[in-house]
Structure 1
Amino acid sequence: MEGDTFSGLRNGTQVDTKVLQSFQKNFVQVQTILDQNRLLINEINQNHESKIPDNLSRNVGLIRELNSNIRRVVDLYGDLSSSFSKSMEASSDGDSSLRSDGKAGMKRFRS
């Protein structure tokens, strides 16, 4: 089907739209978590500056949440990296102009 692939990569490799949608979904998740982290860090800083015992003890939970979010971001980027590698391997299997080292080879066409 014509609308099922996207050929916007520099080397002309076609990428399935499902792969692109997956990348976009993961990037949106990462951005959402990073936005949450920014808010958490701001709250942690405010609590620290206040030096109020209750606020300082609340920071323990906030820092745990921040650490958990960072682990989630690392996992999401790992998933993205793995998905990207797999999609590039799959697309290069069908493209004889890509060598095993991942570099584009010179392909000559007759007119």
Structure 2
Amino acid sequence: MVEAAMADTCGNKNKRFNIGAGKANGAGAGDGDDTEDEECDVEVWDTLRYSFKKAQAVLDQNRELIKKVKENHQSKIPDNLVKNVGLIREINGNISKVVETYSGLSVNFSDTVRQRKKIGNRKVENRRS
């Protein structure tokens, strides 16, 4: 679902991001070489897509584990209730994986924005020279 939405908007996002990056650095849209920006955008979108897919897979697994916990709880069979302890631990571990994925995504995205800002600032400085 996330991948389809990203694929639909990738072209528009790239265009807006390039224009926004230029304005943020004091440059107008369209002046300078956009090839590097477009390659960076593809890398950024690929990273986002990968991270969201990874997180979604873990969340889907948790959904199934939660269903099983609910079934076990409703059955009131002692062995099933004991199994829930392990299932709940697995769910908690998966939540940690999702947090790590989103944390890594946040760091990567912030680093990319900083790098772009530096590149944009260098382009502006080079034009002034």
TM-score of Structure 1 vs Structure 2, range by shorter chain: 0.7 to 0.9
**Alpha-carbon distance in structure 1 between the residues aligned to 2:118 and 2:81:** 56
Which of residues 33, 38, 46 is equivalent to 1:21? 46
Q: Which has the bigger relative contact order, CA under 8 A and spacing at least 6?
A: 2
5 Å-filtered alignment, 1:32-43, equals 32-43=57-68
Root-mean-square deviation (CA, aligned residues, Å) is 1.7
- For structure 1, the residue ranges without an aligned partner over 5 or more in a row are 1-5, 97-111
Higher helix share: 2
Deviations 1:47-102 (A, max 9, x none): 01111011001101101110000000000000000000000000011224xxxxxx
Q: Which residue identity does 1:12 align to in structure 2?
A: G
Alignment match, 1:104: none
5 Å-filtered alignment, 1:46-85, equals 46-85=71-110
Which of residues 6, 20, 31 is equivalent to 1:12? 20
Q: TM-score, normalised by structure 2?
A: 0.65
The sequence identity of aligned pairs, in percent, is 41
Report the secondary structure of 2:17's partner residue. coil
- For structure 2, the residue ranges without an aligned partner over 5 or more in a row are 1-13, 22-36, 122-129
Report the secondary structure of 1:95's partner residue. helix
Query: Do the aligned partners of residues 42 and 95 (structure 1) sit closer, same or farther apart at CA in structure 2, a change above 3 Å counting?
Result: same
Tell me how far 1:20 sits from its aligned partner. 1.9
**Alpha-carbon distance in structure 1 between the residues aligned to 2:67 and 2:60:** 11
Tell me how far 1:23 sits from its aligned partner. 1.4
